[in-house]
Amino acid sequence: MTKDPQQTLIEELDKLLEREREALVGGRLDALPELLELKERLIDSLNEMEGIEAHQLQPLRGKVLRNQALLDGALRGIRSVANRFSTLRKIRRTLETYDDKGRKTALVQQHDNKLEKRA
């Protein structure tokens, strides 16, 4: 008995969405580009087929939305870390103080991070 090619593609995409979820939950963001390429290929193949009913794809829709939410969360986390590092770099370069009248003054360090070699 041979499997329906549409159902085979749907099952492959389902498994791929589970792998994508595992990568997102596990923090393995480096795996995402390869998974995205495979996902695009499977979706293109599904789009080329005729006669696929919406109810056949419904379980995939939920998984796609779940993975998108996980990816959005990962991106928010990455942006948060990048902002924090930016703030830390700024703090290392400047010292903000207040004068006797309550005005803020920033002392900026003019230092190149060059290694000086002495004999």
* Beta carbons of 97 and 105 less than 8 angstroms apart: yes
Q: Return the residue matching tokens 């902002």.
A: 83
**Mean pLDDT in residue range 12-22:** 96
pTM higher than 0.75 for the full model? no
Asked if pLDDT for residue 7 goes beyond 80, the answer is yes
pLDDT at 112: 58
Asked if pLDDT for residue 1 goes beyond 60, the answer is no
pLDDT at 94: 78
**Mean pLDDT in residue range 71-80:** 94
pLDDT tens, residue by residue, 33-46: 999 999 999 999 98
Where are the domains positioned within the chain? 5-108
Three state DSSP letters for the chain: CCCCHHHHHHHHHHHHHHHHHHHHHCCCHHHHHHHHHHHHHHHHHHHHCCCCCHHHHHHHHHHHHHHHHHHHHHHHHHHHHHHHHHHHHHHHHEEEEECCCCCEEEEECCCCCCCCCCC
Listed residue (18, 53, 22, 56) closest to 39, CA to CA: 18
Listed residue (57, 67, 59) closest to 20, CA to CA: 67
- pLDDT category, 47, cuts 50, 70, 90? confident
pLDDT at 80: 95
**Mean pLDDT in residue range 106-119:** 67
Q: Does 64 or 114 have the greater pLDDT score?
A: 64
Q: How many angstroms separate the CA atoms of 106 and 84, rounded?
A: 19
